[in-house]
Structure 1
Amino acid sequence: MARCEVCGNDYEMAFEVHAQGAVHVFDSFECAIQRMAPICEHCQCRIIGHGVDAGDHWYCSAHCAREADPRLADLVRDRV
């Protein structure tokens, strides 16, 4: 069994995520999201979809990017 690095649960169905040269062990997608998903710089939610990368900043949507920086109004849009 493997121990989840977020909650500490020792779970027989734990899984590994290999990312950027590191190996992470989780017992659920919820724990994996809490540890690995970036946080929107405007509304502070976890970005579990595509998100918007604006330079060195991450947002959950084009709306949040525009709210955080109005100069991005013509540069970002949500994917449809």
Structure 2
Amino acid sequence: MAKCEACGNDYDKSFEVVMQGKTHTFDSFECAIFALAPACTRCGVRIVGHGLEKDGQMFCCNHCAEHMGIEELRDRA
């Protein structure tokens, strides 16, 4: 069994995720998202999909980007 690095649970069905050359161990996708997914610059929600990015800032949606003064990003054309 391997211990989840996010919650500490020792679980027989844990899994590993390799990100930027580093291996992480989790017991659930929820913990993996909590630990690895980027957070929206404005609202802090974890970005599970593609998200939007401008000048190193990540956003969960165009609405949040616009609130930060970024007008050229779009969720869809």
TM range (shorter): over 0.9
What is the TM-score normalised by the length of structure 1? 0.90
Q: Hey, what does 1:10 align to over in structure 2?
A: 10
Name the structure where helix makes up a greater proportion of residues.
Answer: 1
Does the alignment pair 1:78 with 2:68? no
Uncovered stretches (5+) of structure 1, i.e. residues with no partner: none
* Count of residues in Structure 1 that have an aligned counterpart in Structure 2: 77
Return the offset for 1:35.
Answer: 0.2
Between the aligned residues of both structures, percent identity stands at: 51
Give TM-score scaled by structure 2 length: 0.94
CA deviation after TM superposition for structure 1 residue 42, in Å: 0.7
SS in structure 1 at match of 2:66 = helix
- Unpaired runs of 5+ residues, structure 2, are none
Deviation at 1:63, TM superposition (A): 1.2
By how many angstroms is 1:41 displaced?
0.8
Q: CA deviation at 1:79?
A: 3.1
